[in-house]
Amino acid sequence: MTLRLYNTLSRKVEEFASRNAPKVQMFVCGPTVYDLSHLGHAKTYIQLDTLARVLKQNEYDLHYLQNVTDIDDKIITRAAEQKTDWQKLGAIFYDEYLKDMRSLNNTSVTDYAKASDYIDAIITQVVKLIEKKHAYIIKDDGVYFEIKTFPNYGKLSGRTEVKQDDAQARIDESTNKRGWNDFCLWKFSKPDEPEWDASFGAGRPGWHIEDTAITEKFFGPQYDIHGGAVDLIFPHHEAEITQMESISDKVPLVKYWIHTGFLTIDSEKMAKSAGNFYTIREVVERGYDPLAIRLFMLQSHYRSSINFTFNNLDAAKNRFHNWRNIAALRHQTHDTLQNDDEKSTDEKAVSLYATAQALVEALNDDLNTPEALTIVDDAFSRLISSRLNDIHQHALTQLLETIDEVLGLDLIKSTPDINDDCKRLIIERQHKRENKDWAASDRLRDKLEKTYGIIVRDAAAGSVWEYAV
Ligand SMILES: [Zn+2]
């Protein structure tokens, strides 16, 4: 089964075919580095990291590029408030962003490109747009793109008007624009603002132009996939198409546009002013494993919105804990378990191999992660309290490898085998139980929990152990 993806540009689910197979070039709008990343960022980047993993699973040779907006109004303002310079502030929060992404296991990005490292490429694009009469200069203000020179404006979003909820830069505001929706390519510098020299006047780049300058530098004028949150479709992504297609006359800039849905908190829009704003760091500090946050975000389809509540997150945390304990079954010592008969051995192993296949097929269906997780749940529920022989354990390990590759949950890494001492204690305890020496059995159980973080449960098939929460 081939990969199928919903393309915002065509408003249809399409069979994915890269422009230059097996290579795939994917760009995703990265962070503006002036503060810690929040749960909305976690949603977007986990879901797009999963897309990257699924592309690799389909044997594509993926180049995943993210820009990092390190020069912007918000950064300049925040740096002034904190009496530091914009470069220092940007460097700090770029680093924090990378830490958060690593903790969530978003490891697929090939290159991060900081806007301030691509100023020459940005200036080159602005010069071309001025030469081709798509852009004009407003004295003491900046360089603007004139929308009326691009008849296809609106083809991605289906609209041309800015609404209140649109993610926009204040930089686009100017009373002297020719068209009310013209957007800024370059802002001439005010005193005490960072600036770069350019033939059309010293200043700093607008928001939209950094993406096209960076993608042209890495990929050329056209590439396969552009991803980002749904609130960036207009005007940001529309502006990218407008700029790059005007410069190159090559259509389309991007073959597949992929957008992720909103995240709400307790059914409300997340906002600092509403007091329902959570950074990724805060949630982790409350004791949640970042990978449980990852599982939480994958429980919903990437295009739908997610309602975050701590109750919902607790449910994902429990699900994740159960999954880890199933993952640990691949280490169960056989001393405490009896072997199954031949027929059931085959069925159990075959069903585990089939689960890995079904999981990938669900993800190939426009990244249907809720369906993929249900498939895993069904397979795992058949293993609870069951007896696994070597063949089952091998099949389970293979399934776990697939889950980790495509969903990035690190089930194998986070459930290392217990050491031989620990195994000896579990078996010793089992013998004490068989001899009805309950006091000794309880002592060994306490020792296993305190020293090794292992909880022993007595099941029908013998003693089984799991990792403490
Ligand atoms: Zn962007």
Angle at 108 between CA 354 and CA 156, to 5 degrees: 95
Which residue is listed with tokens 């795992």? 380
CA of 251 to the centre of ligand 1 (A): 19
User: Are 84 and 441 spatial neighbours (Cβ–Cβ below 8 Å)?
Assistant: no
CA of 383 to the centre of ligand 1 (A): 44
CA of 201 to the centre of ligand 1 (A): 24
CA of 220 to the centre of ligand 1 (A): 16
DSSP for residue 436: T
CA of 226 to the centre of ligand 1 (A): 9
Q: Which range has the worst mean pLDDT, 8-22, 251-265, 401-415, 451-465? A: 451-465
Of all residues in the chain, what percent carry a pLDDT higher than 90? 76
CA of 131 to the centre of ligand 1 (A): 24
Per-residue pLDDT band at 336 (split at 50, 70, 90): very low
Average pLDDT estimate for 15-34: 97
CA of 32 to the centre of ligand 1 (A): 9
Residues in the chain: 469
Query: Which phi and psi angles does 348 have, rounded to 5°?
Result: -65, -45
Q: How far is CA 381 from CA 330, 367, 463, in A?
A: 15, 23, 18
| pLDDT of amino acid 171 | 65
Q: Is the pLDDT of residue 22 over 60?
A: yes
Q: Is the pLDDT of residue 248 over 60?
A: yes
CA of 336 to the centre of ligand 1 (A): 56
Instruction: Report d(CA 395, CA 349) in Å as an integer.
Output: 6
Average pLDDT estimate for 278-286: 97
Which residues are found with C-beta within 5 Å of the ion, ligand 1?
A: 29, 211
Counting Cα atoms < 13 Å in the Cβ hemisphere of 275 gives: 0
Q: Which of 157, 367, 368 is nearest to 257 (CA)?
A: 157
| pLDDT of amino acid 202 | 96
Instruction: Report d(CA 143, CA 132) in Å as an integer.
Output: 13
Per-residue pLDDT band at 434 (split at 50, 70, 90): confident
CA of 211 to the centre of ligand 1 (A): 5
User: Are 18 and 281 spatial neighbours (Cβ–Cβ below 8 Å)?
Assistant: no
CA of 113 to the centre of ligand 1 (A): 12
CA of 270 to the centre of ligand 1 (A): 20
CA of 237 to the centre of ligand 1 (A): 7
Of all residues in the chain, what percent carry a pLDDT higher than 70? 94
- Stated as kind and residue range, the H or E segment containing 254 is strand 254-260
CA of 387 to the centre of ligand 1 (A): 51
Q: Which residue has the higher pLDDT, 386 or 200?
A: 200
Per-residue pLDDT band at 390 (split at 50, 70, 90): confident
Q: Which range has the worst mean pLDDT, 104-113, 279-288, 390-399? A: 390-399
Instruction: Report d(CA 252, CA 241) in Å as an integer.
Output: 8
User: Are 25 and 226 spatial neighbours (Cβ–Cβ below 8 Å)?
Assistant: no
| pLDDT of amino acid 123 | 98
Per-residue pLDDT band at 193 (split at 50, 70, 90): confident
Interval 207-243: pLDDT, tens:
999 999 999 999 999 999 999 999 999 999 999 999 9
Q: Is the pLDDT of residue 410 over 50?
A: yes
Interval 50-105: pLDDT, tens:
999 999 999 999 999 999 999 998 999 999 999 999 999 999 999 999 999 999 99
Give the chain's mean pLDDT.
92
CA of 106 to the centre of ligand 1 (A): 18
Average pLDDT estimate for 115-137: 98
Average pLDDT estimate for 149-163: 88
Instruction: Report d(CA 57, CA 40) in Å as an integer.
Output: 26
Q: Which of 53, 47, 20 is nearest to 255 (CA)?
A: 20
Q: Is the pLDDT of residue 162 over 80?
A: no
Instruction: Report d(CA 372, CA 323) in Å as an integer.
Output: 14
DSSP SS3 for 16: coil
CA of 166 to the centre of ligand 1 (A): 13
Per-residue pLDDT band at 192 (split at 50, 70, 90): confident
Instruction: Report d(CA 280, CA 398) in Å as an integer.
Output: 31
Instruction: Report d(CA 333, CA 182) in Å as an integer.
Output: 68
Q: How many helices (H) and strands (E) does the chain have?
A: 14, 16
Instruction: Report d(CA 248, CA 251) in Å as an integer.
Output: 8
CA of 157 to the centre of ligand 1 (A): 15
Residue 130 makes CB contacts below 8 A (sequence gap 6+) with: 136, 137, 143, 200
CA of 57 to the centre of ligand 1 (A): 26
| pLDDT of amino acid 173 | 78
| pLDDT of amino acid 222 | 98
Average pLDDT estimate for 189-205: 93
What's the pTM? 0.92
Instruction: Report d(CA 262, CA 271) in Å as an integer.
Output: 13
CA of 181 to the centre of ligand 1 (A): 18
Q: Which residue has the higher pLDDT, 156 or 329?
A: 156
Q: Which residue has the higher pLDDT, 403 or 384?
A: 403
CA of 190 to the centre of ligand 1 (A): 24
Average pLDDT estimate for 355-377: 98
CA of 296 to the centre of ligand 1 (A): 25
Interval 28-41: pLDDT, tens:
999 999 999 999 99
| pLDDT of amino acid 50 | 98
